[in-house]
Amino acid sequence: MQFGVEVIYDRSSLLALAAVALAILPASAAWSRWPARDEKFAPEPAVALSSAFVLAQLGGSLAVPETSAPLVTAMLAVPAFVLVRSRFTEPAARMLQWAIALSGLVLLLVTSHYDEASAFLGAGENAPAWFFALRWLAAALPFGMLLALERDKQPRRIAEFVSAVLGYGTIAMLLPADWITPTIAIGVLGIAWRMVQFGTLLNTLLLIAACWAAAPLLEWSAAGFEALGGDPFLLADLPPLAEMLRYVAPLAVALVGAMLLGGKVFVRYRKPGWAIAFAPVAIVAHTAFKQVFGIGDLARFAEMGLAERTTWQALLALLAIGCASLPQRFAGQVDAARWLGIGALTHFALFTLLLHNPLWSDQTVGGWPLANLLLPAYGIAIALVLWLCRGLDGDWLRLRTAFDGAVMVLIGLLALSELRQIFAGTTLLDPPVGQQEDLLRSILAIAVALGFLGWGAWVGQRSWRIGSLVLMLGAVLKVFFFDAAGLEGLARIASFFALGICLIGIGWFYTRQLVRNGDVTTPVGALSTSVSS
């Protein structure tokens, strides 16, 4: 048995020597027919040189273990690069260099080991595999040389893509999984800083980093979609913070760094690029913020949910105003500040106003009227609407009425919630609304409508006057059809009398304002006149 192994070894050695010896013949022919600098690279020396490299590759592969075949290709790629770099624009020389690079890639794949694939996918052992890393580096070397030679767009992109994948494979063989994404981020920053012309290389590394961050991102997204359906976003639904910092935070740094340093690469997609870069930043920040309140169950959510949402809303609002107030303006600064404000307002509208409003959801608001969480929650939202409204210009000015209407709705809901707390206490769900509270709601609506009317007159905004009229009309209808039904005798007479006095006064005020503004022919003027009569 031992004798047979020795015979095979001897035969392999003899075949390797024979192949190397035969390679000398086409190499000599290529040398003798090598064109001068001002002559065209003819097919004959190219074919002879290709034959020499094929035989040399065969001899080298027979002389070493099969897993070392990519190293032989890398050794042959260096002299090939030296020979053809000045003639790379000619098809024969170009095909030779590409053939050597692709042969190294094929040899790497066909001689790969299971442990290599595991390390490439991040499932390998923590111990560095130096020989595996050398194999991947050897396969990447010819493609790296092509980056210095290739000028055609599509082949260059292929070379950049393969170089990025093979370069990642090299570090994957050496580093444990926890260090791969930070290393990729460092590589992205270096390329964006000094080698921004390699756009495909940069994007490929970003895509690989995104693949590593996919698991925690998907876990966070699943919890986010459930929260959009009304389920509380509990701490147990989030991926661990350490996992976020290990995989998603480096991706965020890489994306933001690439946008800042590699502007030429993303110049056509700058706005969506910034949106994509901001997403992992926001996800990491949100995961870290969720650790502060530690809401892990429904009881804790009922106790601290409103406080957590209001704090997050305030942080987004401060970030928006701070971004807009920076002394040195950068491209897209105003848009970034505006979108941050819209994000804070959307978060409030979706989660605090609709899904988990204390009026119909079990949420603790505080023990004292006004000195509670309702005032900052609604106050920040109102301030954001007014701040966004201030920045309207051009065609966006048509939305001014909608912004004013949103402020009026928020003020009305805040007043209603504060009244409810006087009767219910910390949680607004119990006890049920009584007759006295229901009547006070109508009175409160009339008082708020008077406030809208006064403010509309002060600032000269017709939308506020119309809003006050709509609210007043709703309060009147409620008193006539619902509240008065529960009253008897003098109480009912007194309520109608007070309501009539209010309507007469409001009609008189409307008439004065509209006459002063020369607007008595408007529908509002007609409506106010009919109310006063």
Instruction: Please check whether residue 213 is in contact with residue 247, taking contact to mean a CB–CB distance below 8 angstroms.
Output: yes
**What are the pLDDT digits (tens) for 97-114?**
888 889 889 989 988 888
Angular region, 178: left φ>0, alpha ψ -120 to 50, beta rest: alpha
Q: Is the pLDDT of residue 490 over 80?
A: no
Which residues have a Cβ under 8 Å from the Cβ of 57 and sit 6 or more positions away? 69, 72, 73, 76, 103
Contact 279, 260 (CB under 8 A): no
> Helices 298-324 & 333-347, crossing angle to 10 degrees?
160
- The pair of structure tokens assigned to 486 is 């529960």
The more confident residue out of 183 and 50 is 183
Going by the DSSP 8-state scheme, the letter that residue 364 receives in this structure is B
Name, in order, each residue with C-beta under 8 angstroms of 374's C-beta and a sequence gap of 6 or more: 358, 365, 366, 414, 417, 418, 421
Extract the tokens encoding 71.
Answer: 């190293």
Which has more confidence, 19 or 360?
360
Q: pLDDT at position 291, please?
A: 93
pLDDT in tens, 372-383: 999 999 999 999
3-state secondary structure 420-459: HHHHHCCECCCCCCCHHHHHHHHHHHHHHHHHHHHHHHHH
Residue 370 Ramachandran class (φ > 0 left, ψ -120 to 50 alpha, else beta): left
Query: According to the model, what pLDDT value does residue 307 have?
Result: 95
- Residue in 323, 322, 373 with CA at minimum distance from that of residue 348: 373
Q: Which residues pair with 427 in a beta bridge?
A: 364
Rounded distance between C-alpha atoms, residue 220 and residue 287, angstroms: 9
Q: 453-485 pLDDT, tens per residue?
A: 888 888 878 888 888 888 888 887 777 777 666
Per-residue pLDDT band for 244 (boundaries 50, 70, 90) equals: very high
Q: Which residues contact 205 (CB under 8 A, 6 or more apart)?
A: 164, 168, 184, 187, 188, 191, 254
Residue 181 CA to chain centroid, in angstroms? 17
The answer on pLDDT for 521 being more than 60 is no
Contacts of 470 (CB under 8 A, 6+ apart): none
- pLDDT confidence tier of residue 183, bands split at 50, 70 and 90: very high
pLDDT at 340: 92
99, 305, 455 from 300: Cα distances, Å: 64, 7, 40
Q: Is the pLDDT of residue 395 over 70?
A: no
Residues 459 and 404: their CA atoms lie apart, in Å, by: 12
Cross-strand pairs, 525: none
364 φ, ψ (degrees, to nearest 5): -80, 130
Q: Is the pLDDT of residue 394 over 70?
A: no
pLDDT at 6 over 60: no
Token pair of 222, please?
């699943």
Question: In this predicted structure, what is the pLDDT of residue 494?
Answer: 66
Place of tokens 């070894």: 9
3-state secondary structure of 197: coil
C-alpha distances (whole Å) from 378 to each of 46, 334, 474, 478 are: 77, 24, 22, 25
Q: Residue 226, CB half-sphere, CA atoms under 13 Å: how many?
A: 12
pLDDT of residue 135: 93
Average pLDDT taken over every residue of the chain? 82
Q: Is the pLDDT of residue 185 over 90?
A: yes
Q: How many residues does the chain have?
A: 533
Supply φ then ψ for residue 238, to 5 degrees. -90, 150
Token output for 277: 């870069």
The pLDDT value recorded for residue 522 is 42
- Residue bearing tokens 């007479």: 493
Token digits for 114? 């299971």
Mean pLDDT, residues 143-171: 90
pLDDT value for 396 = 65
Query: Is there a contact between 412 and 397 (Cβ–Cβ < 8 Å)?
Result: no
Q: Model-level pTM?
A: 0.81
Average pLDDT estimate for 177-186: 92
Query: Quick count: other Cβ atoms within 10 Å of Cβ 340?
Result: 23
Residue 427 dihedral angles phi and psi, to the nearest 5°:
-110, 130
Quick one: which of 339, 355, 348, 353 has its CA closest to 314?
A: 348
Q: Note the pLDDT of residue 299.
A: 92
The two three-digit tokens of residue 370, written as one number:
């006004």
- Percentage of residues of the chain with pLDDT beyond 70: 80
**Residue 336: what pLDDT?**
84
Q: Token pair of 25, please?
A: 């013949």
